[in-house]
Structure 1
């Protein structure tokens, strides 16, 4: 069993992480720039020093043991901490030093992505040495990652409120009901009323959106999807009606593949929020970035 970590131990752990990330020893040869026998020997040495097997490897392929899975997660955290320490040590004289993990929901309007980019640019003008890490997740995953500390800031729409998280409105997105070119309503689209469209089959999100009034009965919702790309495929099939963000649907409308049922009536607004842990605002990096993000979304910066 490992006692105090040595340089050798750290090198062996890095090899193990590289093999797991590559999905096996043969693929990891390119990443590590060493031969398969050397990698196998290094893994065996690490297992001997640990006193247990990390992975099964051979003709049947590469597979982590249960201990190997846990050790992999520990190893990642170890080197994340090492990187954080190195960054802090190199930038001791900077006011803001560390990592900022941001989670976003996919396919936000281009204008809003530009504002997030503007906030990043403003933040980079500060006296900082911060490493940005940005990921795209579903609303539920964003909240989970906030609660677990995997991210510090999330931007998206959320249908419930977690007491330990802070939600601040950022901007609104318009959702409109559409049909595909092969749908019976396609040629009549534009001024259809709610009673006419209610009897057709709909595609719906797997998560609730509190701003929307149900446009049909639950029995007519015959398809569900957890993201707008999947919903769009169902609508494009010509069999289902469904809601999509206007900015997302516009290219399909211009190609004649989608048509809005009645953009004056069958629509709703979704409010996007920036979310942090309640105590997260005490983090100077988070506080600084929220200031820049808020400034980027001020009316004076509205180009529309």
Structure 2
């Protein structure tokens, strides 16, 4: 009997490719999940359209003023309510401001307040809900009763009260809107935390002597990222609408600052004069941006859905 030829490959042994060997550390799986999440998002054509709309408005509001120069500080009553023309594509408003330039300046305020307030509310609400859900018992009861008490206060009443006792600024609007917007994310993340706290990897943190804050920051909050990201997009959309509502009620940032809600409020006074360019452009901008963020949120919800990732 001759010895086996070691120079020939053993065809009976499984072929371990580099991707299979590296799969033990989870890298290919992580990349595949990320790629599948992106692919699921891109499959939603409405979400892609929404993302494009948001990107276009960001370019319009922040890059546009660098190309299309207008004076949005000094009043020019001689140029008040001019019809759209070559020099003023969307006409001028009641005090002579170019309407296109006003849309750009107003969009900056609306987007900045909306995004900042939405992210701040999501961050604080996530932390509050994660701590309450992880702690449970008496701590959870006290923290959630605070949330319930604040939810019992009408948001519009609180906004009117805070905006009437202080001069509205961008920073104040961000804080006021975030103050009433973190309650929703807190309740959502708290529900996620109640489920995650029973998982083995969270229990192991306790057994190994890890601090509760480590468990919240390293395990509870990251594993609720899907809920957090989706809710953040809706919070931004709601914040933009809240800014518009406050400005429509006359509690927005005073001139020469502007936002889309303030422009819409001023344009309503000229509804019966036929000055359509004072009403439709800011109103359409609010609707498009809010709908775009909602479409993005719907697609992100599908992308983070576990059942869709494993299909």
TM-score scaled by length of structure 1: 0.23
TM-score scaled by length of structure 2: 0.22
